[in-house]
Each structure stands twice: as structure tokens, then as C-alpha cells.
Amino acid sequence: MALAIICSGGDAPGMNPAIKKFVDYVYKRNSTPWFIHDGLEGMIDGKITQATHSDVAGIIHNGGAIIGSSRSRRFYEKKYRRQAWENLQKHHIEGVVVLGGDGSYKAFDILSREFPLNFVGIPTTIDNDIYGTEYCLGVDTALNVIRNAVDNIRDTASTFKRAFIVETMGRECGYLAAVTAVTSGAELCIIPEMHFNEKAAREHLLTELQQGRRYILAIAAEGAKKTEWLKQWFKNEIQIETRVTVLGHIQRGGNPTVKDRITAFEFILNAVDLLLENKTIQAALGYEKGRFTTRPIHEVTAGRYRIPEHILNDLHFLD
């Protein structure tokens, strides 16, 4: 049986470990692994090659994805979806492992409704915003990159009487910001999911500054779109000099952590087994309550991820 793997959308640490395990395990299952290069665009353009063990030697410690990725507007035109399907047929590919997020899932859901394609999605996004899973591949590495940056910023923050705002990625989800705020002991956190209580924050911070606090650390999720507003708020309401650090795409890179490598391996084993053992499957894997789960793709794309309450309850000045 011929199986292919594709990376779609934003890259995430853990993709290369997943790609390596995919090649090794598909061969172990006496099947043939294929690469779809450059995401959906590559599938449309026929950039599909048979994978070998030498292709994946020495990649396990690298961030990014050796087969590339992309986002594709063309894919939402049926003629290009048909072209992508026909390219898969040329190589007799019967199933695809999809490393991606919500947009990737929706793209393959549409394709599988039009053509008899089997696929299994592996939640792969540092945003950690996929319904049906507590954990997405790449999140642990991203959080550790952010932790290192925040710890370094705290070193300089403690030297001067300043407020430091660190903006994290995450699109419309505040997971990265929320977990970072909790684990770094930040004084403030702003995320799209909750309202910032300005009055309570102002009273508390002014009191602490009067009692000798020398600096303030705030974490802002990009999806809240309030980073610059918060800078002005510190200046006008708290009357403290403020610096802003936008971490940007450094959060997507770096050596995958042990957790992301092991999780990548387990996701791949489950995905390949599902494709080889089911005549018809359009599903997404998840990780919930300490075990790997499988949900129909339409259930995942229709659902909405929510940050766990125990994390939200540890944040200050949000309601």
C-alpha cells in the first residue's frame, strides 16, 4: 500500500521527527512511503516523490520540515483539487498523513468529500487551537523557546524599573500566552478569550510599585491585538517606562524537545496503523487524558478549542 505524508500551513517543531518515523514505519509495515513536497501547492503541481531511508537520516533534531509546507488559495478551486487528486492517483497513493492545523483539516475534508481519499490528520501547530486534542505537535518546543526568551527578559527587567511586554504567537488562541504567563509568574496576561480588568490591575500594580516592586512582566497574545494599547496603558495609568518584545517566528523554530519527538513518533504510529487497517477513514488524531484518540474529521473541524479552565483560573485580572 502506498501512503504519503504532507505538511500544510505553518511549520511546527516536531514535523521532521514525524517525517522520519513515517518513512521508517511505513517500510516496516511493508508499504511504500511517499513525500508530498511544499504542501497543498506541491500536491497541485505534482511534487510527489517516493521516500527512502537516506532522505530522513539525520533530520530528527532539526526544526522545520524537510519536505516543505505551504498555504494555498488555488486549492479552494475545484479544478485544482481535481488536479491534486489526479497527481495522487498517478502514484497509486491510497492514504495521506496530514501534518497541519484546522485549515489543513478543512482542505482535506473538502477533498475527501469529492474524491475517495483516505487520510488521517495529526494536530501540528504551535497555536494549540485544534478541537479534540489537549496537545498539538510543536507546542512544547514553542513554549520552551518562549520560556527561554522570557527568562532572559526578566534578567534585564529586574535591573531597571520598567514594564516589559512580551507578545506571543497563537493567532486567535491565547494558549501560548496563558501557559507562558502561568509558568513565568507574569504579573499580567492578555488573551482573546477573556476580558482584561483594567481597574483591578491598576490598583494592584500601583500598590506593589509603592511597596518596592521594581518591574512588571506582561504577556500578550497576538490575537488579542492589544500589545500597543497595553504599552500606552502602562505609560498613562501606571506611569512606568515600558518595552515591548514581539517574539515572532523564533517560536516556530528550534530543536524539537524530547516531548515533541516522542509525541511525533506516537502520532505517526497511530496514523499509519489507521490508514493500513481501515478501508475508509477520514479522521484526526488527538491526545486527551493521557491517551491517543481518533475523531471523525467533520467533528474536529466543526468543534471549537477552549483553553482548559485550570490554566485560565491561574491568570490575574481576567474575567
Give Cα separations from 296 to 19, 20, 127, 291 (angstroms): 23, 26, 21, 17
SS3 of the chain: helix, strand, coil, percent, to 5: 45, 20, 35
Contacts 24+ apart (CB under 8 A), 22-27: 22/51, 22/97, 22/268, 22/272, 23/51, 23/52, 23/53, 23/55, 23/56, 24/53, 24/56, 25/268, 25/269, 25/272, 26/272, 27/53
- In the set 11, 102, 109, 127, the catalytic residue is 127
How is residue 109 written as a grid cell? 475534508
Annotation says 151 is catalytic: no
CA dist 235 and 163 (Å) reads 9
For 151, residues 6+ apart whose C-beta sits below 8 A from its C-beta are 184
Burial of 280 (0-12, 13-18, 19+ CB in 10 A): exposed
Contacts of 146 (CB under 8 A, 6+ apart): 166, 168, 176, 180, 247, 251
Give me the phi and psi of 84, to 5 degrees please: -65, -45
Catalytic center residues: 127
